[in-house]
């Protein structure tokens, strides 16, 4: 699904403690997406020891340049964060969000099946995201796009056992 959205190399940042990120990285690779994971501490190193991981143990002030250089050097075109309120995540999102943006007249339709404006696009990617996140799991999908500035899509899922707000 991610290659259909134009993502060929995903950057993984902090996520749930434990083996989740390692398994997620494997799923992405199985789907044809290259993966780079940033490990911030020994727990990350323990659960994500793969050769595609890089470590960041510098002061926060060095993070913006580090993530910008990493994304450019590795051709990273997608960022996956779990929670956009962490300062490291916000900076990575801002660095990544430099695309063409989606015109206002197209924004209402991007989640419709078979709707695409891209040559060779199938119109399935965001429709499937909406189906899985919203319809099947009671979550939310937020689109924030400005022409000439880029697009951010934020997925929110209810905690296990919790019901989503109606």
Q: Note whether residue 109 is domain-resident.
A: yes
Q: pTM, whole model, 2 decimals?
A: 0.57
User: Is the domain of 39 the same as that of 1?
Assistant: yes
User: Is the domain of 32 the same as that of 86?
Assistant: yes
User: Is the domain of 37 the same as that of 65?
Assistant: yes
More confident residue, 2 or 108: 108
User: Is the domain of 6 the same as that of 58?
Assistant: yes
Q: Note whether residue 164 is domain-resident.
A: no
Domain boundary among 96, 113, 138: 96
What CATH number does the domain containing 104 carry?
A: 3.30.565.10
- Here the contacts of 3-8 (C-beta below 8 Å, separation 24 or greater) are 3/31, 3/32, 3/33, 4/121, 4/122, 4/124, 4/125, 5/78, 5/125, 5/126, 6/77, 6/118, 7/33, 7/77, 7/78, 8/32, 8/33, 8/34, 8/75, 8/77, 8/78
**Number of domains the chain is built from:** 2
Residue-wise pLDDT for 77-133, tens only, equals 888 777 555 555 555 555 455 667 788 888 888 888 787 777 766 766 777 777 777
User: Is the domain of 8 the same as that of 87?
Assistant: yes
Write out the residue range of the structural domain in which residue 131 sits. Answer: 99-158
User: Is the domain of 33 the same as that of 110?
Assistant: no
pLDDT for 1: 46
User: Is the domain of 14 the same as that of 91?
Assistant: yes
């Amino acid at each position: 699904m991610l290659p259909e959205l134009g993502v060929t190399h995903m950057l993984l940042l902090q996520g749930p403690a434990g083996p989740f990120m390692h398994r997620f990285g494997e799923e992405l690779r199985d789907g044809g997406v290259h993966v780079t994971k940033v490990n911030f501490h020994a727990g990350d190193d323990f659960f994500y020891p793969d050769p595609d991981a890089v470590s960041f143990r510098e002061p926060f002030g060095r993070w913006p340049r580090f993530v910008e250089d990493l994304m450019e050097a590795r051709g990273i075109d997608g960022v996956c964060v779990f929670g956009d309120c962490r300062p490291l995540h916000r900076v990575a999102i801002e660095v990544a969000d430099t695309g063409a943006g989606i015109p206002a007249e197209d924004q209402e339709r991007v989640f419709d099946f078979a709707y695409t404006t891209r040559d060779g696009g199938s119109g399935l990617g965001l429709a499937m995201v909406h189906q899985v996140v919203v319809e099947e799991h009671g979550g939310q999908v937020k689109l924030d796009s400005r022409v000439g500035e880029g697009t951010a899509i934020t997925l929110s899922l209810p905690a296990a056992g919790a019901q989503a707000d109606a």
